[in-house]
Chain A
């Protein structure tokens, strides 16, 4: 069982990625907003547009797609699908994708995890 974590820098790909994952059989994922460290630090000091930077929600959010996948074959397929959908993660501008082994899972049954 693995957790797939994809930090997507350009949210215009979000819908496409989710649709592609659904198509190959990944049944669910959570989407979180996040801010990169450099983005956070650089946005804190305004020069010309302080008003926008003080407002909540004005930070440049990345999207984190979080999904738990039980089947290794499906996981490999999901990695390839994401890479293909965003036009190559390796160019460094489409975010970071990694997986983690999951030891315990309490919650939804196997049918929701792509088994």
Chain B
């Protein structure tokens, strides 16, 4: 009963909150650096969690797990459905190469920095590699909400720069989902994790196969002339099926639904309709995710805050360096002398980053999750919060005109 009441309470908060969030915090000019991007609901979740009010206690959160897996599927489908070949071809092949190189170097820099840092506190921890990998992969994610809010108030001339930033962010988000799916395939945390213990390559093969099959199934079902309510039911049913299958096989629901979405986007004439259908509950779903993530958060020691600050700094420096090396080639305009530092326009880490954080927590959850992995989750969530505050300043710096 408490679980149902807890989830209902979250749903009401999310439905009420999504209309008030996603806006500039203050209407004045001074308020241009402060946005409500939904990320503040992490704090709401933290307050609702066991640390304070206890509305979302561990038992309730445990029972909410199936909902989270379905939510991850929904998000994966949304992320995949944007990968329409026609749209992707709007940008030149060279752009993809530079973005890929940016991503590789960002991963490299963040991994090196974090490895050196975490080795100081956890020198012989067997999970060090996994913790570094997860934080490095999520460093690729960029929240696009503050970017869009910033661009909304900026001049029309800045729109091309905004489009390039959103393009880079979207591609990196997709890369992060794929890499996270691969990580899940290659690491099965001792005493934790979900699903069967299959060999890594089998997990990847299952992900690909299941994702493609689900995409084809969706394609087939959507061929019929259906009302909106029928389509919503089909999507919910399919995401439930996909989420359950992912749980059973121990593969990433985000990854398989990403593949399904991409199949639908490229072979269906109605992908636009499906996209808008999925978008309708995007905001409330996101807020529920953030609140649950916040409820999971435990800031037991100041070390988590210190590590989060260090992670934010390492990520920002790496973004600046990798961006200067490669992203300056994706966008060149003499009107924007700081466009070479495009990486700093990608500071926000919410959106897919938050979804991956929840995914990570579901993956490591168990009777006694390792300390370092628990710490990694806390560091990631705190970093998402810190980066959200920093993000408008990075955008202001990059988009400054001559």
A contact set with B: CB distance below 8 Å: 10, 12, 42-55, 58, 60, 93
Answer whether residue B120 sits at the interface, using C-beta atoms and an 8 A cutoff: no
Q: Which of A44, A45, A93 has the most CB of B within 10 A?
A: A45
27 CB < 8 A contacts A-B:
A12-B225, A42-B283, A43-B279, A44-B152, A45-B148, A46-B145, A47-B144, A47-B282, A47-B283, A48-B75, A48-B79, A48-B173, A48-B352, A48-B355, A49-B79, A49-B275, A49-B282, A50-B173, A50-B351, A51-B83, A51-B167, A52-B81, A52-B82, A52-B84, A53-B148, A54-B166, A55-B87
Q: Is the interface of A mostly helix, strand, loop or mixed?
A: loop
- Cross-chain contact B225 with A48 (CB below 8 angstroms): no
- Cross-chain contact A47 with B225 (CB below 8 angstroms): no
**Residues of chain A within 8 A of B148, CB atoms compared:** 44-46, 50, 53
Answer whether residue B170 sits at the interface, using C-beta atoms and an 8 A cutoff: yes
**Residues of chain A within 8 A of B87, CB atoms compared:** 51-52, 55, 58
**Between A and B, how many residue pairs show CB distances below 8 Å?**
77
A-B pairs with lowest CB-CB distance, top 4: A51-B170, A52-B82, A50-B144, A49-B82
**Residues of chain B within 8 A of A52, CB atoms compared:** 81-82, 84, 87, 275
**Whole-angstrom distance between the Cβ of B345 and the nearest chain A Cβ:** 13
Total B residues in contact with A, Cβ cutoff 8 Å:
39
Q: In the assembly, what is the distance between CA of A47 and CA of B84, in Å?
A: 18
**Residues of chain B within 8 A of A51, CB atoms compared:** 82-83, 87, 166-167, 170-171
**Residues of chain B within 8 A of A43, CB atoms compared:** 279
Q: Which of A10, A44, A46 has the most CB of B within 10 A?
A: A46
- Cross-chain contact A55 with B90 (CB below 8 angstroms): yes
Q: In the assembly, what is the distance between CA of A46 and CA of B162, in Å?
A: 13
**Residues of chain B within 8 A of A42, CB atoms compared:** 279, 283
Other-chain contact of B279, A12, A49, A55 (Cβ < 8 Å): A49
- Cross-chain contact A45 with B82 (CB below 8 angstroms): no
